[in-house]
Amino acid sequence: MREEGGKRIKYIVVTGGVMSGLGKGITAASIGRILKDKGYEVVPIKIDPYINIDAGTMNPFQHGEVFVLKDGTEVDLDLGHYERFVDVELGREHNITTGVIYLSVIDKERHGEYLGQTVQIIPHITNEIKERIRSVAARSGADICIVEIGGTVGDIESMPFLEAVRQMRGEEHPDDFLLVHVTLVPTTLSGEQKTKPTQHSVKELRELGLQPDVIVCRCKERLREETKAKIAMFCNVEKEAVISAPDTDDIYKVPLLLDEEGISAYIMLRLRLLPRKHDTSWRVMVERAEHADKKVRIAIVGKYTKLEDSYISIKEALKHAAMSLGCRVEPVWVEAEDLEVLSDEKLANFFEDAEVQGILVPGGFGVRGAAGKMKAMKYARERKIPFLGLCFGFQLAVIEFARNVLGLKDASSSELDAETPHPVVTLLPEQRDVKNLGGTMRLGDYKITIKENTLAERIYERREVYERHRHRYEVNPEYIELLEQAGLIFSGSCDGRMEILELPQNGEEGHPFFFATQFHPEFKSRPGRPSPPFKAFLKAALSLTAGDCAASEE
């Protein structure tokens, strides 16, 4: 039995089998939410078996969204789920990759810390893994550490981490360690629930010396009692430890579904925990959202729309804002490249036929789709459709305005056109000599100072805010005065860098809502605390058809 910092910490390890993408991250986040509602402090850790140091250089088509933590660490999207579900702010130490572990061990070997030993997977790699998990748990001051191991059981990349977990299980007190295994229970066309994939997955786990305590079964519908009994018998767990995780239309229902299945009662029994409180705010929030009667259609014009996980934080931020306004968001996914071939008339018909009440342009990199995004911005600006631009969307809004209002037809970004005579968006000075791509952007929390009497001030209701960043380019200081003279308002800045832009709302030429940010407000949005720009954007979109927004505020 170990005590970290004089306090016994309990560990819940979440693994997965059969196939990737089953929802280990949502399961781990949901368990964290359940335990938090019982009054316990929870710290999550995500283990990613890939050799990359972080997720920063990964293609969104392959890996989904890159989530940015407050300290600027670029991580897997599951850490976004942790932050939203458990309402915590995480840092670099909460994401462990194979690359981080091996780099640390090799560095120690080069400095002679192993005193001439032959450096091996066991014990050196596994010890490094265990040490990092325990040190993060101890420094957090939490009661329970939830560790998700990415990939699936049987992957060669996961082996050192599963071996480290096997060792930890033997080193911790039996009451302080629990293994949750997430598997798939498919349903045949005839409606039969098949348990064989789960049996094989658990068999592979047991061959590695690990016996699951709880099996969470992803399934189309709740498991039948006979299916649970069969899994329990063949996988050597109690029937109460076989938990249904059926498909749902809202991930925020998952903690409630798992709780109804008895997972919290079973975990607390096995870990010998007693409820400290009974917080029902999550249930109230989900039920309110389910009964929302108003709808708002938002066009999301991006370049990775065929994989919606690329914009998962934006989807969730829209959902959070909708919850607070008593409405539902219907996202209309628009591939930016598809707009490039449309005439102005056909583009207008496209948006009118889609009945969108707002247009959002998210972040991204590179020239592909940029022209289509700017066509959507021009339409939103001229037709006075509520618009929200994020990061690259902020930069493109500057370019579109420079071209079509200021009259600089060749205006561009030095990223999109290195030869442009009017680089209204240019590379950050500190980026000009950067050779390595990983972890070198302007990343993480920065303080934004907001101008008085602006839309930004009304949205945030304060003059200073902290938001998360991920970019290499900025508005060229040489063009700021020209842009402002033409009517563009830069209402937020950080150390001389433009961070927020807006159009005037008053007068004949006023726009109901045209707002863009260099930062990513979606990363700090929470179900109970929606991002102010997203909430203001949806409120404006609702008022587009409702005359005066009749949304019920909290």
* 312 and 179 share one domain: no
The least confident of 213-217, 268-272, 300-304 is 300-304
Q: List the structure tokens of 222.
A: 């709740």
Mean pLDDT of 23-39: 96
Mean pLDDT of 163-181: 97
Is residue 247 assigned to a domain? yes
Final residue before a domain boundary, out of 265, 284, 303: 284
- Whole-number Å distance between alpha carbons of 389 and 534: 10
Mean pLDDT of 360-370: 92
- Whole-number Å distance between alpha carbons of 466 and 447: 5
Flag whether pLDDT at 236 surpasses 50.
yes
Tens digits of per-residue pLDDT, 85-101? 999 999 999 999 999 99
- The domain of 460 spans 293-430+440-546
Mean pLDDT of 389-406: 97
CA dihedral 543, 544, 545, 546 (to 10 degrees): 20
Per this entry, what is the length of the chain? 554
- Whole-number Å distance between alpha carbons of 505 and 458: 12
* 506 and 367 share one domain: yes
Cα torsion 409, 415, 421, 427: sign = positive
Flag whether pLDDT at 437 surpasses 80.
no
Q: Which of 313, 305, 307, 217 is nearest to 263 (CA)?
A: 217
Q: Please report, for the domain that includes residue 341, its CATH number.
A: 3.40.50.880
Flag whether pLDDT at 553 surpasses 50.
no
Q: Which of 384, 357, 362 is nearest to 372 (CA)?
A: 362
Identify any residues that bridge with 42 across adjacent strands, giving them in sequence order. 144
* 172 and 189 share one domain: yes
Is residue 75 assigned to a domain? no
CA end-to-end distance (rounded Å), the chain:
47
- Whole-number Å distance between alpha carbons of 276 and 263: 17
Final residue before a domain boundary, out of 247, 263, 284: 284
Q: 333: pLDDT confidence band, cut at 50, 70 and 90? A: very high
Indicate the number of domains in the chain.
2
Distances (CA, A) of 394 to 250, 425, 448, 515, 518: 30, 10, 15, 8, 6
**Tokens 């009661």 label which residue?**
143
Q: 307: pLDDT confidence band, cut at 50, 70 and 90? A: confident
Element at 422 (helix H, strand E): strand 422-427
Percentage of the residues of the chain whose pLDDT score is greater than 70: 97
* 382 and 250 share one domain: no
Contact yes or no for 405/434 (Cβ under 8 A):
no
Flag whether pLDDT at 316 surpasses 90.
yes
Tens digits of per-residue pLDDT, 68-85? 999 999 999 999 999 999
| 520 classed as catalytic | yes
| 235 classed as catalytic | no
Q: List the structure tokens of 486.
A: 């033409």
Q: 549: pLDDT confidence band, cut at 50, 70 and 90? A: very low
Percentage of the residues of the chain whose pLDDT score is greater than 90: 86
Concatenate the DSSP letters of all residues of 15-29 into one string. EE-SSS-SSHHHHHH
Mean pLDDT of 477-503: 96
Flag whether pLDDT at 551 surpasses 50.
no
Interior angle at CA 103, CA 102 and CA 105, nearest 5 = 65
Final residue before a domain boundary, out of 284, 317, 337: 284
Is residue 512 assigned to a domain? yes
* 36 and 165 share one domain: yes
Per-residue model confidence (pLDDT) at position 1: 47
Per-residue model confidence (pLDDT) at position 545: 63
Mean pLDDT of 361-387: 95
Is residue 4 assigned to a domain? no
Question: DSSP label at 125?
Answer: I
* 265 and 302 share one domain: no
Instruction: Give the type of residue at 246.
Output: P
Model pTM score? 0.92
* 325 and 392 share one domain: yes
Mean pLDDT of 104-132: 95
* 333 and 452 share one domain: yes
Tens digits of per-residue pLDDT, 247-259? 999 999 999 999 9
Q: Please report, for the domain that includes residue 16, its CATH number.
A: 3.40.50.300
- Whole-number Å distance between alpha carbons of 170 and 442: 43
Flag whether pLDDT at 199 surpasses 70.
yes
Flag whether pLDDT at 550 surpasses 60.
no
* 328 and 204 share one domain: no
The mean predicted confidence, pLDDT, of the chain is 93
Q: List the structure tokens of 104.
A: 């640390």
- Out of 391, 400, 469, 494, the active site residue is 391
Is residue 492 assigned to a domain? yes
- For the chain, what is the total number of helices (H) and then of strands (E)? 19, 21
Per-residue model confidence (pLDDT) at position 139: 95
Q: Which residues have CB under 8 Å from 437's CB, separation 6+?
A: 56, 57
Tens digits of per-residue pLDDT, 507-537? 777 999 999 999 999 999 999 999 999 999 9
| Side-chain-side CA neighbours of residue 144 (13 Å) | 27
Per-residue model confidence (pLDDT) at position 2: 57
Flag whether pLDDT at 38 surpasses 50.
yes
* 318 and 232 share one domain: no
**Tokens 């420079």 label which residue?**
402
> What angle, 0 to 180 degrees and rounded to 10, lies between the N-to-C axes of helices 370-383 and 392-404?
70
Q: 293: pLDDT confidence band, cut at 50, 70 and 90? A: confident
Question: Where does residue 375 fall: left (phi above 0), alpha (psi -120 to 50 degrees), or beta otherwise?
Answer: alpha
Q: Which residues have CB under 8 Å from 312's CB, separation 6+?
A: 64, 65, 77, 80
Per-residue model confidence (pLDDT) at position 305: 80
- Out of 400, 499, 522, 549, the active site residue is 522
* 453 and 508 share one domain: yes
Element at 244 (helix H, strand E): strand 242-246
Is residue 351 assigned to a domain? yes
Concatenate the DSSP letters of all residues of 218-240 into one string. EESSPPPHHHHHHHHHHHT--GG
Q: Which residues have CB under 8 Å from 41's CB, separation 6+?
A: 140, 141, 142, 143, 144
Tens digits of per-residue pLDDT, 146-160? 999 999 998 999 999
Phi first, then psi, for residue 328 (nearest 5°) are: -120, 145
| 522 classed as catalytic | yes
Mean pLDDT of 327-353: 95
